[in-house]
A and B are shown apart, each in its own frame.
Chain A
C-alpha cells in the first residue's frame, strides 16, 4: 500500500511543480509578454473584453500585485480551466483551440503508438528467442541503423518520394481543401489518405525502442535461474521463451507504453510540423511563431499534465503487475 501512496504523493508533487514551472517561465523572461499581447489585442481595434485582458494577465504575469498574489490568481485560473484568450485566433479561447486539434493528434499518434508497441514487442521477442542468430542480428542492427536516422529527415524523404515523385499520397495537411471536417465517409477516407505518410514516418522509428528494450530484457530473463531450471526440466524451448522469458521481460515495456501514450502530445511536434498536420504539435509551433503566449503556455501545461498522469498510471500498473516493486518500497 505504501508503494501506491508514495507514487500518488509523487504525482501530486510533480503536478504542482509543473503548474508552478508554467507560472515561472514567462515571468523569468525579460520584458512583459502580457503587456505585448494586451497592446496587440488593443491594436486590432476589436472590442476587448476586460475579462480577457485580465485572463492574459493572470496567465502571463501582471505588473501590479505581488508575485504571491499573481500565483494564487494563477492557480485559481488553472483550476477553473481558464487559460485566457488566444492572441492569434482571437476571439477564440485557448481551450477551444486545443480542443480543435486534440483529436487529430490523439488519433494519429495513438494508433501508431499502439502498432509500434505490438510490432516492436513481437520483433524483440523473436530476436531474443533466436538470440545470436541471423534473425537477431538483422533485427537489432536494422533497428539500431534506423534509430540513427533523424526523424524529420526521414519524413521529408517520404514526402519527396511518395507524395511529390510518385504522387501516391497527398503531400501535407490533415484533409483536402475540398472536404469539410465531419464524420462523413468522404471526409474520413480523405483524412486517412492524409495520415498515411505521417503514420508511416512514425511507424518506421516507433518500434525501435520497444524492440531493443524487449530483446535485452528477455535475453536477461532467459538467463535467470528459473528459466534455466525450466530448460533442465525439459520444457519445450518455445514455452520457456514465452512463459518464462517474455512474460517477465514485457513488464518494463508495459509501463513504458503507458508513458509513451502520455508522451503522445510531446512527441508529435516534429511530425506535425513536417506534414503540416492539424494537431496540437503544429498548434504549439504556430503559437510560438505568432508569439501567442497564452496558447503556448496552455499547450505546454496540457502536454506535461498528460505525461504526468500517464506516468502515475504506469507506476500503479507496475505495482499491480510486479509485486517485487511493492515489496521493495515497503521495506
Chain B
C-alpha cells in the first residue's frame, strides 16, 4: 500500500505534488488538494461534471420538470410532444417530470444508503481489525455471513414483510444487505496499518485507542473510505432501482425503477413509447457511469502513478 493522501495533511511528496498541481493550475489556490488531483484527471473531471449535472437537476426538479410528476390530468400514453417532451404514462403523467424527480430519489438513496453502509462498515471493520482477538473472530464471521447471503432475495424478503414501504425502509434494507463488502476491505487495511511504526509510537506515547483510530488510522484510509462510499452508493442506486422495478419500492416516490416498472406494465413496449422506456434506463446508466468515472480519479488520489499531471 502506498501512502494514501488524506487531503493536505499528508507530509512529504504528496503534498508537494498537490502544491505543484495547484500552482500549475494557476488559479483557485484555495481549492483543497484532493479536489485538484481529482479535477486534473480527465475521466474524473467528466464524472464530476456529470454528477454535478444530476445534483442540479435533482435540486431544481420542480423548475426543470415543469409539471408535478404525479399529476395525471394529461392524455394517456401520448408520444413525445412540445408540451410533454418524453410523452405521458399510461396514467397520464408527464414522463419528463418523473425523470427529473427520479434523479432526487436515486441521489437521496445513493447518498443515504452509501453513508450508512460506510459507517457500519467502518465501525465493524475498525473494531475487528484494530482490536483483533475473539472480537475479530466474531465480527469477521458476521462480515462473511453478510457477504454470502444473497442480497436481492434478502432485500425482497425484508421489504415484503414490512407493512409500509417508505423510502427510509428501502434505504435501511439496502444498507443491511450491503455493508459487508466495505467492512471486509477496511478490516484488512487496518490490519496492515496497525503494525506500522507510527501507530506503535503513538501507542507508546500513551495515546488512547480512540485517539489513535481517529487521528492516526482514519486519515490514512481516506481514499479507501471514499472509494467504499462510492461503491456502496452505486450499489444502493442499483438496488433501489431493482427493488422499485420489481414493484417493491416506495409507491409514494417517483424513481427511475418505478418508472421502468410502470413502463413495462403500462404497455410502453406495445404502444412503442420508446422515450418512456429509454429515458429512465439511460439516466440510470449515466449516473452509474459518472460514479465509475469519479472512481478513476479517487484511485489516482491513493496511487500517485495514476495521476495525470
Contacts and interface: CB of A to CB of B under 8 A. Distances in A.
Interface of A: 10, 13-14, 17-18, 21, 25-26, 29-31, 33, 144-145, 147-150, 152-154, 156-157, 159-160, 164, 263, 265-267, 269-270, 273-274, 284-285, 288-289, 291, 293, 296-297, 299-300, 303-304, 307-308, 311
A148 B238 CA distance: 10
Contact of B238 (A150, A273, A288, A299): A150
13 contacts: A17-B145, A30-B163, A148-B292, A150-B281, A164-B270, A265-B150, A270-B152, A296-B156, A296-B160, A297-B157, A304-B149, A307-B150, A308-B148
A156 B260 contact: yes
Contacts of A144: 292
Chain A CB within 10 Å — which of B153, B242, B269, B280 has the most?
B153
B74 interface: no
Contacts of A308: 148
A247 B246 CA distance: 41
Contacts of B222: none
B188 to A, nearest CB: 13
Nearest to A308: B148
A164 to B, nearest CB: 5
B263 interface: yes
Given A269-B156, A304-B150, A25 B161 contact: yes
Contacts of A29: 161-163
A40 B278 CA distance: 41
A296 B292 contact: no
Given A153-B260, A159-B269, A296-B160, A269 B284 contact: no
B284 A153 contact: yes
B158 interface: yes
B281 A300 contact: no
A33 B161 contact: yes
A274 B264 contact: yes
B157 A150 contact: no
Given A29-B162, A159-B269, A269-B152, 7 more contacts: A152-B242, A153-B260, A156-B264, A274-B264, A284-B156, A303-B150, A304-B153
Contact of A18 (B149, B241, B270, B289): B149
A150 B285 contact: yes
B161 A270 contact: no
Given A148-B289, A156-B281, A299 B144 contact: no
A148 B150 contact: no
A21 to B, nearest CB: 7
Nearest to A17: B145
A150 B241 contact: yes
Nearest to A22: B157
Chain B residues touching A, majority SS? helix
Given A150-B238, A291-B160, A269 B151 contact: no
Interface string B280-303: 110011001100100000000000
B157 A300 contact: yes
A267 B153 CA distance: 8
Nearest to A306: B150
Interface residues of B, number: 40
A149 B263 CA distance: 17
Contact of B152 (A14, A153, A267, A297): A267
Contacts of A164: 269-270
Contacts of B238: 150
Nearest to B151: A266
Contacts of B34: none
A14 B148 contact: yes
A101 to B, nearest CB: 14
Nearest to A145: B289
Contacts of A270: 152, 242, 245-246
B248 interface: yes
Nearest to A153: B281
Contacts of A291: 160
A314 B289 CA distance: 32
A21 B149 contact: yes
Nearest to B286: A148
Given A148-B285, A266-B150, A156 B263 contact: yes
B246 A273 contact: yes
A265 B246 CA distance: 16
B144 A14 contact: yes
B198 interface: no
Nearest to B155: A269
A313 B228 CA distance: 29
B135 interface: no
Contacts of A147: 292
A263 B150 contact: yes
B13 to A, nearest CB: 23
Given A31-B163, A266-B151, A304-B149, A153 B144 contact: no
Nearest to B141: A13
Contact of A160 (B246, B269, B285, B292): B269
Contacts of B151: 266
Interface string B250-278: 00000000001001100001100010011
B277 A160 contact: yes
Contacts of A10: 141, 144
Nearest to B150: A266
Nearest to B142: A17
B158 to A, nearest CB: 7
A29 B161 CA distance: 7
A224 B284 CA distance: 39
Chain B CB within 10 Å — which of A153, A156, A293 has the most?
A153
A192 B44 CA distance: 44
B274 to A, nearest CB: 7
A158 B117 CA distance: 34
